[in-house]
Structure 1
């Protein structure tokens, strides 16, 4: 099974298809977006930014890269990979977007697993979109067999109906946009934190834990639920660095008090629960 870059990008200014030539992506109206030396393209207009440097910082990206590459979330990546390939016909090219790709871990793991499948005549066309330029830069440096884009889930710079799979893993779903870019019958794969996800860490950094939110089983408009599975396991973190990296890559870093962060920083080891829900939705035909 081979992997290739995804080509059906759209101009973020007028929605016209983009063509890649002469080191840039260009549309028929004359808008041009240079491809960076590292291989990514910036398709986030200033009017779509909420801050000067939106998304994860360089430090947060580095922390996430260290934590993920240590393999702590590999069972999640493997489950996502199985879901991506489920029901994919022989000989097909699956066009797959990771919406909020971060530093590209899940697309890299997907490509790695698929490239090891001897005799599989299917192909993957991959695109990762993230609002953080630091995350996209890190992704582009690690994998060239994908298209990497600085952009936003609210206005995906992708042509309508051009995707077979959309991944939203611990991200911010924008269901109307996901429905727009998926072909009819294409699939949306969501990974969401379960009620016990990182409970032991949260018990340390917060004075008390809020009651778990009620499970939201609402099916988004234009989609049909195909399946929902829970993945739960424990990880052992030895040393201060992986604990600090885990905290730095979550929203809890900014939500915790200074005292809570100090308690976490004093830890030398931590056993923590990973609990996520993986949902598969089909785009209605």
Structure 2
């Protein structure tokens, strides 16, 4: 069962937010409307680094199409196993996807949870286009425009945080997790999209070791590597993959054009999943 996530905090003064009709309000009088699509904008303009931060509308659409093809389904399955494996029968779990994009991984988590579980799920992204897309696809979860650097979440309110190819801010993650709360971080491995990178870059940096270190305030519980191949069978699918990665902007235009002209490409998916637990002394 999915229930609304209620433990929101005002992004201006950190006070608890309470829902009143179609808005969230704090005791200081700050008010934040819930949009018609079902999300709330909690990123103050003074904390924006650009006029329209995060992924563009086009990038979000590309990610939605690519993830919808099932190419990254094994990542979602591995994520769900790590999060749900130790959950007791009848568990109540509050989970944040920090950098949720269009909500793919939270939706997959919901689909894998047992009927006896109660999940309070919140997805946050700095891109309003991503959060709009997520809110349109699922009305049960809480969707927020916000920043990992200043999470609009009350301290000590989360059991889990997912950071899927995102930008972790460990001090904030430690603040909002409950004692013993856990973080699952998924990052690209050394061989991730190697075949694509060979096409769009004149030279590829030496492969780094797939090692993982403990973030400040956390202890490592487990880590695993996931490696498999995916055949891409159309120009559209290859273009969508390019559009959802930073490689689209890092590579030269002529090299990107070479990749977009391909009609077939087999890629390697190589990711590291690392699970950490908040140390008791970190709060």
What is the TM-score with the length of structure 2 in the denominator? 0.97
State the superposition RMSD in angstroms: 0.9
1:281 equivalent in alignment to 2:276: yes
Structure 1 equivalent of residue 103 of structure 2: 104
Q: CA deviation at 1:5?
A: 2.2
The residue that corresponds to 2:40 in the other structure is 41
Other-structure match for 1:72: 71
Could you tell me which runs of 5 or more consecutive residues in structure 1 were left unpaired when the two chains were aligned: none
Q: Aligned partners of 1:48 and 1:213: how far apart in 2? A: 34
Displacement, 1:216?
A: 4.5
SS in 2 for 1:111: helix
Residues of 2 paired with 1:215 and 1:92: CA distance? 33
Aligned length: 280
Q: Which runs of 5+ in 2 are unaligned?
A: none
For 1:161 and 1:191, locate their aligned partners in 2 and report how far apart those are by CA, in whole Å: 22
Q: CA deviation at 1:214?
A: 4.2
1:251 aligns with one of 221, 242, 246:
246
Secondary structure at the counterpart of residue 87 of structure 1: coil
Residue among 105, 119, 122 paired with 1:124: 119
CA apart distance, 1:122: 1.7
Q: Deviations over 1:14-45 (max 9, x none)?
A: 00110011210000111000000010000000
Deviation at 1:86, TM superposition (A): 2.5
Q: Secondary structure at the match of 1:263?
A: helix
Q: Which deviations, in whole Å up to 9, do the C-alpha atoms of 1:154-209 show, x marking residues without a partner?
A: 00000000000000000000000000000011100000000000000000011110
1:208 to 187, 203, 210: 203
Equivalent in the alignment of 1:4:
3
Residues 79-104 of structure 1: CA distance to partner in whole angstroms, max 9, x if unpaired? 11111113222222110000000000
Equivalences for 1:172-211 in 2 at 5 Å?
172-211=167-206
Partner of 1:146: 141
Match of 2:94 in 1: 95
> How far is the alpha carbon of 1:123 from its aligned partner?
1.2
The one of 250, 262, 277 equivalent to 1:267 is 262
Q: What secondary structure does 2:87 align onto?
A: coil
Using the TM superposition, name which of 49-58 and 212-221 deviates more: 212-221
In structure 2, the residue matched to 1:165 is 160
Distance 1:101 1:95 in 2: 15
The normalised TM-score by structure 1 is 0.96
Take 1:233 and 1:201, find their aligned partners in 2: how far apart are those partners? 15
